[in-house]
Amino acid sequence: MSKKVEKDLDLKLEEGSTPAKATANGEEKVICEDIEETSKIVLTEDEENAMEELLKDRLPVIPEEGTKIKGKVLEIDTHSLFVDLGEMGVGIIYGKEVKDGFGNHRKKLKIGDEITASVIDQENEEGYVELSVREAIREEAWKDLSKKKDNGKIISVKILDANKGGLMVEVNNITGFMPVSQLTAEHYPRVEDGDKNKIFEILKSYVNTEMRVCVIDAIFDEEKLIVSEKEAYKEEEKKNISEFKVGDVVEGEVSGVVDFGAFVKFFPPSRKDSKDDADKLEGLVHISQLDWKLIDNPRDVVAIGDRVKAKIISIDDTRISLSVRELKADPWTQVGDKYKPGQIVEGVVNKLNHFGAFVYLNEDIHGLSHISEFISRYPGKNVDEVIQTGETYLWQIMSMDPKKHRMGLKFVGELKDKEKLMKAKEEKKSVEKESASVEAMVNKEEETKKEAKK
């Protein structure tokens, strides 16, 4: 029986006493004839039960493995750290965890510091409660990340690595991710041809640099940490954007061209004399807003470095949408002066898809010949078996809606059929004219007969 248990049971052995005596529940009892002969215990059953209850009440309970407990640093040496756990005894932390430090900033501990640790072993071979601070520190780090997210705190992070989707960072010794979409305009990789390998090279150039970011997602159970550079500059951008309103015209430089449009950088009025590129705002001109005509590739219209004027058509939080075409005359407002329903015109096939053919009558005006027009005339054939992209054919205008920039066309034939079609059209007009003349004569005769009767 250990000295600690003896103390907790309040057993007082009297030195030199034979038989040995002890007190339990306030009464003195003989527990053995010889202190060496521990088998001669003569306590009654009730007294034994009372002692068991006393033992249960007085002995400290060591928490199960995985439980977190608090204690104070007793002693620190090269390879271990001792922790005072009060009635539970002494805990010990081994090895690398001691060297790494503790807490959010990995501080080195000193005697008397209070720490939280997890129980690894309730009693190891040396008789200590073996502890680990790794999990406790990790939990503390995630709690801190959650606070940073809720508070919108701006922090500085080091870029550890890059992949084609974004950048790897470290916060509180936890690895996180910053998607490409969360980079500011200054760091967003703009590649002329959209080559993913070139984008990756730009992202890799940021490794070992530092960026200001905000935590936008921190989920401990999923080990998910997402940060954003854009979010760190959001309030500053909002302030600059507040200097503009929808309808304002800005002038800037094309900073990037992608498949869906072009980015344009420009200074807010309060910083118009600045030379720092970081003071610029950036807006997007969607591919549909680059020109009134249909555009398949924005790179055919603009290039990085071009100076352009654009109109602000919407402001959504920190996103600015621009339009270049709004500053150009709309060619569709005059379309009725040149084209009429029923008219046969020449048009170049611009694009074929599953619902028909897009056809340009001139540089600005286009129409759609629906797939149904081809199916009815050429059953069993695909559109590309009848017409080819880039070729000019004859079309008949079936409908027009200038406000919606729409024109319905019907395929008539190839250019070689033009003369025949025009001749047929003239003959039709002649027949219609002759029929009208005969109808007029008949009407005149009927009027004459009516007058005669009167």
Domains of the chain by residue range: 3-58, 68-132, 156-232, 234-327
Q: In the chain, what percentage of residues exceed pLDDT 70?
A: 78
pLDDT on residue 209: 94
State residue 78's pLDDT score: 76
Q: Which helix (H) or strand (E) holds 45?
A: helix 45-58
CB proximity list for 26: less than 8 A, separation 6 or greater = none
CATH code, residues 234-327: 2.40.50.140
The per-residue DSSP string of 213-269 comes to: EEEEEEETTTTEEEEEHHHHTHHHHHHHHTT--TT-EEEEEEEEEETTEEEEEE--G
CATH superfamily of 156-232: Nucleic acid-binding proteins (2.40.50.140)
pLDDT of residue 274: 86
Closest Cα partner for 342 from 305, 395, 289, 397? 397
Q: Which residues contact 31 (CB under 8 A, 6 or more apart)?
A: 19, 20, 21, 22, 41, 42, 43
Cα 148–152–154 angle (5° rounding)? Answer: 80
Give, in order, the Cα–Cα distances in Å from 224 to each of 142, 158, 256, 360, 444. Answer: 10, 18, 31, 51, 91
| CATH node for 68-132 | 2.40.50.140
Task: Please tell me the predicted confidence (pLDDT) of residue 16.
Answer: 42
pLDDT recorded at residue 346: 92
Identify the pLDDT of residue 202: 93
Q: Which residue ranges in the chain fall short of pLDDT 50? A: 1-25, 29-39, 103-106
Do the domains at 68-132 and 234-327 have one common CATH topology? Answer: yes
DSSP letter for 324, please.
Answer: S
Two structure tokens written together for 307: 């100076």
Q: What is the pLDDT of residue 42?
A: 65
Place of tokens 């190891």: 124
